[in-house]
Chains A and B, each alone.
Chain A
Amino acid sequence: MSLWDDTKQGMESPSLGKELDDLEIYKSNLLLYSMVDRAYERWDDVVAKFAEVAPIEERLAQACRDANLIPKMRTHQLSAASCWAKAGNFHRAVLLADEMLADPDLDDRYRERMEGLRARWKERRATLIKTLDTEDEIGDTLGKSVK
């Protein structure tokens, strides 16, 4: 049906066993449903889905590493980091990006992409801390004035 010879082109992605294959379907559905949640601006639901998907992606990445499926492992690693960031856990996202970037075999295009993402997540993390500090100062000041 296609000119694509899928025994030769594309990325190798054999079964990881029923449990992990089912988990992959489950997390893909969560990501699809999050698209609709986003459309309706149901942000709590969106964040909850990303927070659920992120550790699944980490588990799938580990399974791919164990099976020596390195290109597929990287797709799960990237997705795990990205999902953690979308769930608001920039610290975990940056750690995963560090781990990917420490791999000397990482492709240049991938490296460039990950460096860009890591810089953005670090910036967001710093902004978050600054914002929380500012709010704490206001809270402290208010607390002192009440005393």
Chain B
Amino acid sequence: MEEEREPDVVQIGIALASHRIDATIFLPFLVTRLRSMTTTNEAMVTVLLHDIETPGEVRRDLKLRWNPDSEPRQPLGVGEKVITELAACGIANIVGNLYAGIVWRRVADEGDGFDYWVRQNTVREVGLEVSGTMTEEEGVLEARHREKVAQLLGSQQRVGGFVAVVSFTLRRMIVSFHLAPGEIYEPLG
């Protein structure tokens, strides 16, 4: 049985600003989505990590905090779906870095089958596919995750990588790692 632990805490403005590429563009979208989940300037999200820290599933509770000054003063003026997708990119950036140690290297081409090229601390890059939803059903979130894994692994790039899907309504996120077809798992250490 997994031992109880305190939630991890992240200040999202600082986390988004600490990257090689400018992830702060996601801040207003992420704050807008998180703000709708709470009456304060912090929100709790459950993160399910698949094959990230250890084989299988690990659950982490993550408290995301933001500076009230970063809250948009006016409605963002874009569609709800767009806000959700860009907010998902923001939270994926933070969670991927926090739990998998990945940093975003470049934006992938639309035809690549995933959204970003990422790496840990060496010279090899893999894919990261991100998706956001407002579904209230866990089954829908899981189905979206399966769909995105197939998309990543079907890419012509033939690399493995990460899939991050989040439901801001369920306050739940799945982050998983996948080897490319043909790649052999080689344990670290």
A interface vs B, CB < 8 Å? 1-15, 24-25, 27-29, 31-33, 35-36, 39-40, 71-72, 75, 78-79, 82, 107, 109-110, 112-113, 117
Which residues of B sit under 8 angstroms from A4, Cβ to Cβ?
100, 120, 126, 160, 177, 179
A1 to B126, Cβ gap below 8 A? Answer: no
A-side contacts of B160, CB under 8 Å:
4, 9-10
Q: Is the CB of B187 within 8 A of A5?
A: yes
CA distance A13 to B122 in the complex (A): 9
A113 contacts across to B, CB distance below 8 A: 111, 156
B52 contacts which chain A residues (CB < 8 A)? Answer: 1-3
| Given known contacts A13-B119, A24-B106, A28-B21, A112 and B179 CB-to-CB distance under 8 angstroms | no
DSSP majority for the A interface?
Answer: helix
Residues of B within 8 A of A (CB): 20-23, 25, 51-55, 77-79, 82, 86, 99-102, 104-112, 117, 119-126, 155-161, 177, 179-180, 183, 185-188
Give the complex CA separation of A122 and B96 in angstroms.
Answer: 39
On chain A, the residues within 8 Å of B180 by CB distance are: 9
Q: Which residue of B lies closest to A13 (CB)?
A: B125
Kindly list 16 other residue pairs between chains A and B, CB separation below 8 angstroms, not including A1-B101, A3-B185, A12-B124.
Answer: A1-B53, A3-B55, A3-B177, A4-B177, A7-B124, A9-B124, A9-B126, A10-B126, A10-B160, A15-B123, A24-B105, A32-B23, A35-B25, A78-B109, A109-B155, A113-B111
